[in-house]
């Protein structure tokens, strides 16, 4: 996967590490990462937390799950934050959503939330993918890797702009 190769190179260049917390993708995101030679220098591991109980074991608050459901930006953020802590990585990305075959948690098929947690505020993205269950899952895994690249570039650009401000 081209996106995984790009991400591994970017993480290595920046001296950062990554971990992943997955739900609907069931390990596809981690699998894409480990397909890249040399990934062990930047990738710590991944956790699949598919059920509500598994998400709670990861550290997602039962109150968040009750108030917002498993398919929500709030859950995605907690998944990423707990994963980052668990693996002690610079960054963590989480993916939670509905790949079908039926709507779940009042969310349509194809609704996916991705969160990237690094230093400071997380990046949270909502996607609505279409296609078969497996196509939605593949799109979500690719989007998770792209979200990390976006997060890193956005933070770097923000930092550069901030240091170039005139006071």
- pLDDT value of position 147: 98
Residues 6+ apart with CB under 8 A from 68: 74, 75
Tell me what the mean pLDDT of segment 134-148 comes to. 98
State the Cα–Cα distance between residues 24 and 57, nearest whole angstrom.
17
Task: Find the range with the poorest average confidence among 1-5, 70-74, 143-147.
Answer: 1-5
CATH superfamily of the 2-163 domain: CinA-like (3.90.950.20)
Say what the pTM is: 0.93
* pLDDT for 160 beyond 70: no
pLDDT at position 2 is: 84
CA distances from 38 to 21, 42, 54, 81, 151 (A): 21, 8, 30, 25, 22
Whose CA is closest to 42, among 83, 91, 86?
Answer: 91
DSSP reduced 3-state for 122: coil
| Residue 145 in this model has a pLDDT that exceeds 60 | yes
pLDDT average, residue stretch 1-18: 95
What is the pLDDT, as a whole number, of residue 158? 54
* Domain ranges, ordered by start, for the chain: 2-163
Residue 162 pLDDT greater than 70, yes or no: no
Residues in CB range of 98: below 8 A, 6 or more apart = 24, 71, 104, 105, 107, 108, 109, 110, 111, 112
Contact, 91 vs 122, CB < 8 A? Answer: no
What's the whole-number average pLDDT of the chain?
A: 93
Number of Cβ within 10 Å of residue 17's Cβ equals 18
């Amino acid at each position: 996967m081209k996106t995984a190769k790009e991400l591994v190179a970017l993480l290595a260049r920046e001296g950062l590490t990554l971990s992943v917390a997955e739900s609907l993708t069931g390990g596809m995101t981690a699998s894409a990462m480990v397909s890249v030679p040399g990934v062990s220098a930047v990738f710590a591991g991944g956790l699949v937390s598919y059920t509500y109980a598994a998400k709670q074991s990861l550290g997602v608050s039962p109150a968040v799950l009750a108030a917002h459901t498993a398919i929500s930006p709030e859950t995605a953020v907690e998944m990423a934050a707990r994963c980052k802590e668990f693996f002690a990585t610079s960054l963590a990305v989480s993916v939670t959503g509905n790949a079908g075959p039926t709507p779940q948690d009042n969310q349509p098929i194809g609704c996916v939330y991705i969160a990237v947690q690094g230093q400071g505020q997380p990046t949270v993205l909502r996607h609505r993918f279409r296609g078969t269950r497996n196509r939605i899952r593949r799109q979500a895994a690719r989007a998770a890797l792209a979200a990390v690249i976006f997060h890193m570039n956005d933070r770097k650009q923000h930092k550069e702009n901030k240091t170039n401000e005139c006071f």
